């Protein structure tokens, strides 16, 4: 490595940062979650309001993560922040939750979105979506076990394909499709708790906005992060929110809120209306490619959680094995797959696979997101003199607002997401005995490698 390369300063401009943020956030969820959001919205105003509120929560959350990422840079992410703020027991429980609920649930969610579109291309019977989901998880796990990392180089290309598919849908909907008259929709759950239904709607919206917490770590690569980080997050949030609002206005214009609720593959349905069956087939292929890209990245990164658990808990040391030839944690990948497969079966036996997997992951995810937000407050008190290249504005208001939002989403998803939510929380509780198995303080790894 040259001396210049070793001493170079962070080189990402504001435009570079915005491009990376938009590329990380905009994904396959926009083709899977709008119908589920519509099922929890009473009318079109509420529906659009949920997407606007999601953009606001994304911005506030990203600002909080940006301060944590700038002040405590570490590849361990939330594991590292929770460890610093609340101790090893909380961070270890998070690692368990991420490995058994959050990450595996996320794999299952994307796999079912893939399955819904793949079923359009190659029908496999009543449980076709679940079969497609299972096949793709097994195939991509095998790919990662073999150590074939070449697919990582295609992530940028696949992001471009996602944007191409979304732009195609928006343009087709605006210019080519005939709008339908909206009907007065019935309440999503006339006898239920409205706040709870809106909370579940926000859960699906924020899953579509997912990824901003990873993009917030850009602070270590930006030029002048103290000034530019807020610009990147503000501009990026406006771009993502604008694109999602435009896409959803197109969906409403073409299908109406009631029609949107009934669609299982909204992008393909719209393109079929506009360009006939072959248009729907083409978009289904593009969305399947996008889902495969997301799944591959999620499977690869998720296996590292088990690897960290194997290093921190002696009784799970077999998970910490690393295959030098393939440069991958083979055992961790296999365990991750074995946990995911029963989730796919649970989703297949549910009325809606995507919705059941979201219910499974949501309460646990938002619980630890709330603890991460509170970590910022705790670390400010514990380390008041620590250098912070970026500080969240309006402190402590914004961190408290974000923590309260996370707590509300945890409450809504726990009470109104059904059996799946209780199952996810039960799996979290099953990890409590792990806290008795951790190594002594002097030997516990930080989880950041």
Give me the CATH number covering residue 322: 1.20.1740.10
Task: Give the 3-state DSSP-derived string for 380-426, with helices as H, strands as E and coil as C.
Answer: HHHCCCCCCCCCCCCCCHHHHHHHHHHHHHHHHHHHHCCHHHHHHHH
The answer as to whether 445 is a domain residue is no
Residues 6+ apart with CB under 8 A from 52: 241, 245
Both ends of the chain: CA-CA distance in Å?
A: 22
The answer as to whether 335 is a domain residue is yes
The answer as to whether 181 is a domain residue is no
Q: Which two tokens stand for residue 177?
A: 């499709």
What pLDDT score does 354 carry?
83
Residue 136, classed as helix, strand or coil, is: helix
256, 339, 250: which is closest to 302 by C-alpha? 339
| CB-based burial label for 72 (10 Å; 0-12, 13-18, 19+) | buried
* Model confidence pTM above 0.85: no
The answer as to whether 187 is a domain residue is no
Domain coverage including residue 404? 14-176+193-385+394-436
Sequence-separated contacts (24+) of 222-225 with Cβ below 8 Å:
222/10, 222/12, 222/13, 222/14, 222/17, 223/9, 223/10, 223/11, 223/12, 223/13, 225/10, 225/66, 225/70, 225/389, 225/390
Query: Distance of CA 144 to CAs 16, 98, 246, Å?
Result: 29, 19, 36
Q: Residue for token digits 């979105």?
A: 113
Rounded Cα distance between 56 and 59, Å, is 5
CB neighbour burial string for 400-409, b if at least 16 within 10 angstroms, e if fewer: ebbbebbbbb
Q: How many domains does the chain have?
A: 1
Alpha helices in 179-276 (DSSP H): 194-208, 212-215, 225-262, 266-275
Q: Which two tokens stand for residue 133?
A: 């989901």
The answer as to whether 442 is a domain residue is no
What pLDDT score does 3 carry?
45
Are 58 and 234 contacting, i.e. CB atoms less than 8 angstroms apart? no
What pLDDT score does 267 carry?
76
The answer as to whether 255 is a domain residue is yes
Are 107 and 100 contacting, i.e. CB atoms less than 8 angstroms apart? no
The answer as to whether 9 is a domain residue is no
What pLDDT score does 421 carry?
87
What is the residue-level pLDDT of the chain in tens, covering all 449 positions?
444 444 445 567 788 778 777 877 887 788 888 998 998 888 899 999 999 999 999 999 988 988 888 788 766 678 888 989 998 889 889 988 988 898 888 899 989 989 988 988 888 888 888 999 999 999 988 887 776 554 445 556 666 777 777 787 788 777 765 655 454 444 444 444 666 678 888 989 998 898 777 666 666 667 777 778 778 888 888 888 998 999 898 888 888 888 888 887 787 787 787 777 777 788 788 888 878 877 877 787 777 667 666 776 666 667 656 655 555 677 778 888 898 999 999 888 887 788 888 889 999 999 999 999 999 999 999 999 888 888 898 999 999 999 999 999 999 888 877 788 888 999 999 888 877 765 544 344 444 43
273, 221, 259: which is closest to 19 by C-alpha? 221
194 prior amide bond cis, ω within 30: no
Are 370 and 160 contacting, i.e. CB atoms less than 8 angstroms apart? no
The answer as to whether 5 is a domain residue is no
């Amino acid at each position: 490595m040259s001396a210049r390369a070793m001493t170079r300063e962070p080189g990402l401009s504001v435009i570079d940062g915005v491009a990376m943020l938009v590329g990380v956030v905009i994904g396959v969820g926009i083709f899977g979650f709008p119908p589920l959001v519509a099922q929890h919205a009473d009318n079109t105003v509420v529906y659009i309001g949920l997407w606007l509120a999601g953009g606001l929560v994304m911005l506030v959350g990203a600002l909080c993560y940006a301060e944590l990422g700038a002040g405590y840079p570490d590849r361990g992410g939330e594991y590292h922040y929770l460890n610093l703020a609340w101790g090893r027991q909380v961070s270890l429980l998070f690692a368990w939750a991420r490995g058994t609920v959050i990450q595996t649930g996320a794999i299952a969610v994307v796999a079912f979105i893939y399955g819904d579109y793949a079923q359009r291309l190659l029908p496999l019977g009543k449980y076709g979506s679940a079969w497609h989901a299972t096949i793709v998880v097994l195939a991509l796990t095998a790919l990662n076990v073999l150590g074939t990392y070449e697919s990582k180089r295609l992530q940028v290309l696949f992001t471009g394909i996602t944007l191409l598919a979304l732009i195609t849908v928006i343009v087709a909907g605006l210019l080519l499709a005939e709008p339908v008259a909206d009907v007065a929709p019935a309440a999503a759950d006339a006898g239920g708790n409205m706040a709870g239904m809106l909370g579940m709607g926000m859960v699906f919206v924020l899953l579509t906005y997912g990824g901003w917490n990873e993009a917030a770590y850009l602070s270590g690569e930006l030029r002048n992060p103290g000034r530019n980080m807020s610009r990147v997050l503000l501009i990026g949030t406006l771009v993502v929110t604008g694109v999602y609002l435009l896409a959803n206005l197109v969906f409403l214009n073409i299908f109406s809120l009631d029609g949107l609720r009934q669609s299982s593959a909204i992008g393909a349905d719209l393109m079929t209306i506009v360009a006939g069956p072959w248009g729907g087939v083409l978009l289904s292929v593009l969305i399947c490619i996008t889902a495969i890209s997301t799944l591959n990245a999620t499977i690869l990164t998720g296996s590292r959680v088990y690897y960290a658990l194997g290093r921190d808990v002696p009784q799970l040391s077999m998970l910490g094995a690393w295959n030098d030839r393939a440069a991958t944690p083979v055992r961790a990948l296999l365990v991750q797959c074995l946990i995911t497969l029963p989730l796919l079966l649970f989703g297949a036996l549910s009325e809606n696979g995507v919705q059941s997997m979201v219910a499974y992951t949501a309460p646990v995810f938002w619980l630890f997101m709330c603890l991460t937000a509170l970590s910022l407050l705790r670390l400010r008190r514990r380390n008041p003199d620590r250098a912070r290249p970026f500080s969240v504005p309006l402190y402590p208001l914004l961190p408290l607002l974000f923590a309260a939002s996370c707590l509300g989403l945890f409450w809504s998803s726990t009470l109104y997401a059904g059996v799946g939510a209780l199952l996810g929380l039960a799996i979290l509780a099953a990890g409590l005995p792990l806290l008795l198995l951790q190594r002594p303080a002097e030997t516990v790894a930080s989880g950041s490698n």
